[in-house]
Amino acid sequence: MTLFALIVALLIEQLRPLPAARVVDAPLKALARFLENRFNDGQARHGAIAWWLAILGACFLSALAYFVLWHFHPVLAILFNVMVLYLTMGFRHVSHYFTDIQLALRMGELVRARQLIGEWRGRHHDQSSSSEVARLAIEEALVASHRNVFAVAFWFILLPGPSGAVLYRLARFFEKEWGQRAGSAEFGDFGDFAHRAFAALDWIPVRLTAAAFSIVGDFEDGVYCWRAQASQWTEKASGILLASGGGALGVRLGMPIQESGEVLERPEMGIGDDADADFMQSTIGLIWRTLVLVILLLALLGVAGWVGN
C-alpha cells in the first residue's frame, strides 16, 4: 500500500505539478506568522514550543485521519495518503527551471540561462559562464530531489499513515522560515530549535540518498568524494549530496562562482569534467535511476513481508 501510494502520487505530480507556492507555502507562512506573533520573544525555548505545537498537531491529525478513514474503508485511507504525498513531495514544481536552463544552454542563450538560475536561486548571476550556470543548476537539482522526493519518502515509509511526510515537510519549512533567521538581531534565537530539529531529521535520509546516488552512478568516485570533500562544504547535508552526486556523475561541482557581481569562493565537490548541458541530462538520469532503486527496494520489502506472513 505504501509503494502504491508513492507511485500514484509521483505520477499525478508528473502529470499535474502542484502550485506549491499558493497551495502549500502560503498557508504555512500564515501559520508561521501566527506562531511568531504569539511565541517569538527571541528565546530558543519558545521557538521549540512553537515548533512542537505545529509539528505534533499536524502529525497527530494526519495520522488520526488516516486511521479513521482506514476504519471505514482501506481505499479511503490510501487515497488520503496519495493526497498528502501530493502536497508534501514532488520535484516538478522546481524542475521546470532545470529543464528551461538546459534548453537555454543548448540553444546558446546564456543570458536567458543566467536569468533563470538567478530566479531559481534568488540571487544574481549576470556574469556567470555557461559552465557555472550548468554547475549551479545541477547542484540545485541534486539537493531538491532529495528534499522534495527521497527524504519525504523515507519518513513516509517510517511513520504511520502520512504523518512522516507531514513531519519532514513541515520541519523543512520551519527550518527555512525560522532556522535560517536564527541569530539575527530582529529574530533572536527563536529559530535555533527549528534549525537543529531539521538537521536531526535529515541526518539519516541525506546519507541514504547519497548512498543511492553512488550506487546508481559511479560508486567508487561517489563514495570517495563523499568521504574526502563533503565536510568542506558550509552546509554539511548539502555537501554530502553534492560530493556524492558529483562523484557519481563524474562532474566537478562547487568551486568559485560569480554571484551578485562578486566572486564567491567555494570548495570543489565531485570529480571529473566541467559541467555543461550534457551533464545536466546525466543528472536527470541519475535522479530517475535513484527513484527506480527506491521503488524496487520498497517492492522487495513488500514481497518479503508478504512471504513472511
pLDDT tens string 46-95: 989 999 999 999 999 999 999 999 999 999 999 999 999 999 987 776 78
Specify the pLDDT at position 40: 86
Specify the pLDDT at position 282: 94
Is there a contact between 97 and 284 (Cβ–Cβ < 8 Å)? no
The whole-number average pLDDT for the span 216-232 is 95
Specify the pLDDT at position 308: 52
Instruction: State percent of the chain over pLDDT 90.
Output: 66
Is there a contact between 82 and 8 (Cβ–Cβ < 8 Å)? yes
What residues pair up with 264 in beta bridges, in sequence order?
Answer: 257
What would the pLDDT profile of 229-255 be if each residue is shown by its tens digit? 999 998 999 999 999 999 999 999 999
Specify the pLDDT at position 306: 55
The C-alpha angle with vertex 66 and arms to 62 and 72, in degrees rounded to 5, equals 145
Mean pLDDT for all residues in the chain: 90
What would the pLDDT profile of 263-298 be if each residue is shown by its tens digit? 889 999 999 999 999 999 999 999 999 999 988 888
Instruction: State percent of the chain over pLDDT 70.
Output: 96
pTM for this entry: 0.92
